[in-house]
Structure 1
Amino acid sequence: MKNFTAICGILCAMAGAAHAGGIDRSGQPISIIFEKGNYAELSYGWINPSVSGNDDAMFGGRATGSVAGDHNLPGLALKYDFTDKLSGAIIYDQAYGADILYPIGQSIALGGTSAQMDSEGLTGLLRYKFNENFSVHGGIRASKAGGEVTLAGLAYGPLNGYNVNFDNAWGTGYVAGVAYERPEIALRVALTYFSKVEHELDTVEALPVGLGGASIASVTTVDTPQAWHLDAQTGVAEDTLIFANVRWVDWSEFLINPQTLEALTGQGLVSLDDTTTYTLGVGRKFNENWSGTAFITYEPSTGDDLVSPLAPTNGYKGIGFAAIYTKDNMRVTAGARYLDLGDADPETGTPDTARASMTGNDAVALGIKVGFSF
Structure 2
Amino acid sequence: MKLNQKKHLIAAMLSVFAGQSYAAGLERSPQHIDALFEQGTYAEAGYTHISPDVQGTDASGNHISDMAEDFQSLNYAVKTDLAPNLRLAVIYDEPFGAKVKFKGDNNFIAKNRPAEDANTRVEVKSKNVTALLGYNLNKNVMIYGGPALQELEADVHLRGLTYAVNSGYNNTFDDIAVGWVAGMSYAKPEMGILASLTYRSEIEHKTTIQEDVPLADIVFSGNYSHSNQGKITIPESVNLNLQTGLNMTTALYAKVRYVPWSDFAYSPPVLKASTAAALGKGLPLVDYSEDQTSVEIGLGKRLAPNLAISVSGLWDSGAGDPAPTLGPVNGYWGVGLAAKYNFNKKLAFSAGGRYMWFGDAEGELSSRQFVGGFQDNTGYIVGMKLSYSSK
Shared topology, TM-score over 0.5? yes
Q: CA deviation at 1:155?
A: 2.0
Partner of 1:20 in structure 2?
Answer: 24
| 8 A contact 1:102–1:110 mirrored in 2 | yes
| 8 A contact 2:17–2:385 mirrored in 1 | no
Tell me how far apart the structure 1 counterparts of residues 82 and 366 of structure 2 sit (CA, whole Å): 54
Q: Is residue 2:128 matched to residue 1:121?
A: yes
1:174-323 map, 5 Å: 174-208=180-214, 211=218, 212=221, 216-265=226-275, 266-272=282-288, 273-302=290-319, 304-323=320-339
Q: CA deviation at 1:253?
A: 2.5
Tell me how far apart the structure 2 counterparts of residues 249 and 283 of structure 1 sit (CA, whole Å): 27
Partner of 1:84 in structure 2?
Answer: 84
Amino acid at match of 2:299: V
What's the RMSD between the two structures over aligned residues? 1.6
Q: Could you list the per-position Cα deviations for residues 56-106 of structure 1 after superposition, in whole angstroms to 9, with x for gaps in the alignment?
A: 2xx2x1111111111111011100011111000111111111101112x42
Relative distance call for 1:232 and 1:340 in structure 2 (3 A) is: same
Q: CA deviation at 1:6?
A: 2.4
Q: Is residue 2:105 matched to residue 1:106?
A: yes
Question: Under a length normalisation based on structure 2, what TM-score does the superposition of the two structures give?
Answer: 0.89
Tell me how far apart the structure 2 counterparts of residues 366 and 71 of structure 1 sit (CA, whole Å): 11
Question: Under a length normalisation based on structure 1, what TM-score does the superposition of the two structures give?
Answer: 0.93
Partner of 1:35 in structure 2?
Answer: 38
Name the count of aligned residue pairs: 362
Structure of larger gyration radius: 2
Tell me how far apart the structure 2 counterparts of residues 32 and 109 of structure 1 sit (CA, whole Å): 43
Tell me how far apart the structure 2 counterparts of residues 164 and 249 of structure 1 sit (CA, whole Å): 25
Amino acid at match of 1:96: F
Q: CA deviation at 1:147?
A: 1.2
Amino acid at match of 1:134: V
| 8 A contact 2:50–2:72 mirrored in 1 | yes
Relative distance call for 1:370 and 1:307 in structure 2 (3 A) is: same
Q: Could you list the per-position Cα deviations for residues 190-216 of structure 1 after superposition, in whole angstroms to 9, with x for gaps in the alignment?
A: 000000111112111112286356661
Partner of 1:69 in structure 2?
Answer: 69
Relative distance call for 1:324 and 1:8 in structure 2 (3 A) is: closer
Q: CA deviation at 1:55?
A: 1.2
Match of 1:46 among 42, 45, 49: 49
Match of 1:324 among 340, 350, 361: 340
| 8 A contact 2:351–2:383 mirrored in 1 | yes
What percent of counterpart residues are identical?
32
- Secondary structure (helix, strand or coil) at the match of 1:306 reads coil
Tell me how far apart the structure 2 counterparts of residues 73 and 109 of structure 1 sit (CA, whole Å): 27
Tell me how far apart the structure 2 counterparts of residues 117 and 102 of structure 1 sit (CA, whole Å): 15
Match of 2:163 among 156, 174, 187: 156
Q: CA deviation at 1:7?
A: 2.5
| 8 A contact 2:287–2:366 mirrored in 1 | no
Residue segments in structure 2 that go unaligned for 5+ positions in a row: 1-8, 111-118, 276-281
Q: Could you list the per-position Cα deviations for residues 319-355 of structure 1 after superposition, in whole angstroms to 9, with x for gaps in the alignment?
A: 00011101221111010110111111111244x2321
Q: Which moved more, 1:31-40 or 1:204-213?
A: 204-213
Partner of 1:367 in structure 2?
Answer: 383
Amino acid at match of 2:35: I
Residue segments in structure 1 that go unaligned for 5+ positions in a row: none
Partner of 1:341 in structure 2?
Answer: 358
- Secondary structure (helix, strand or coil) at the match of 2:64 reads coil
- Secondary structure (helix, strand or coil) at the match of 1:127 reads strand
